[in-house]
Amino acid sequence: MKQLIKYYMLSIVTVLAVTMFFSCNDNYKEVQKIGISENEPIGEAENINLKYTDSGEVTRHLIGAKMKNYSNRDFPYYEFPEGITLYIYDDDKKSTIVSDYAIVYDRTSIIDLQGNVVITTYDNRILKSEQLYFDRKREWLFTNVPVTFESEQDIIHGNGFDSNGEFTNAEVLEVTGIFTVED
């Protein structure tokens, strides 16, 4: 009888041990998320003043009032809810990009600029739109919303814009009006 009780106890202990062993899993990522809602940013910064350098020279200067870091999401991004000002330097040339709102998607390298987007190039060409996308990998600007593009001789209105980052092949799509500026 004692041997039968011992056998049952050993069986119960074995079943419990096996059950506990198989119920354990790696939940380190879940533990990291405790206290962080998926809808909340993982970090916030105010008064952003970033300077990007290449070979000791400043190539870009980003200024923003607020940045929210959502890198804790499945599709991570950074949000600038109060807008940005970005200065781009190329030798002694300076171009400026301003928008009321911006989102930077790291995985796709797309920057979504929204609200009063104005790009002023070093040679005084000006692009205005309510939304503009910039593909950092391809260095390509594009939109399909109304734009105004001002050069030395023309002011062009249209529905869409397509250009490389240097504006050497800038094209207003679906042109709705061209005004020639005379000296």
Asked if 170 contacts 125 with a C-beta cutoff of 8 angstroms, the reply is yes
Asked if 106 contacts 79 with a C-beta cutoff of 8 angstroms, the reply is no
Q: What is the pLDDT of residues 125-143, one digit of tens each?
A: 999 999 999 988 888 999 9
Q: What is the pLDDT of residue 3?
A: 64
Which positions of the chain have pLDDT values less than 70? 1-38, 183
Parse the chain into domains and list their residue ranges: 31-180
Residue entry with tokens 């916030």: 44
For residue 60, give every residue at least 6 positions away whose Cβ sits within 8 Å of its Cβ, in sequence order, or none: 50, 51, 52, 86, 87, 88, 89
- Give the Cα separation of 137 and 75 in Å (integer): 18
Q: What is the pLDDT of residue 170?
A: 87
Q: What is the pLDDT of residues 25-53, one digit of tens each?
A: 666 556 555 555 667 889 999 999 989 88
For domain 31-180, which architecture applies?
A: Sandwich (2.60)
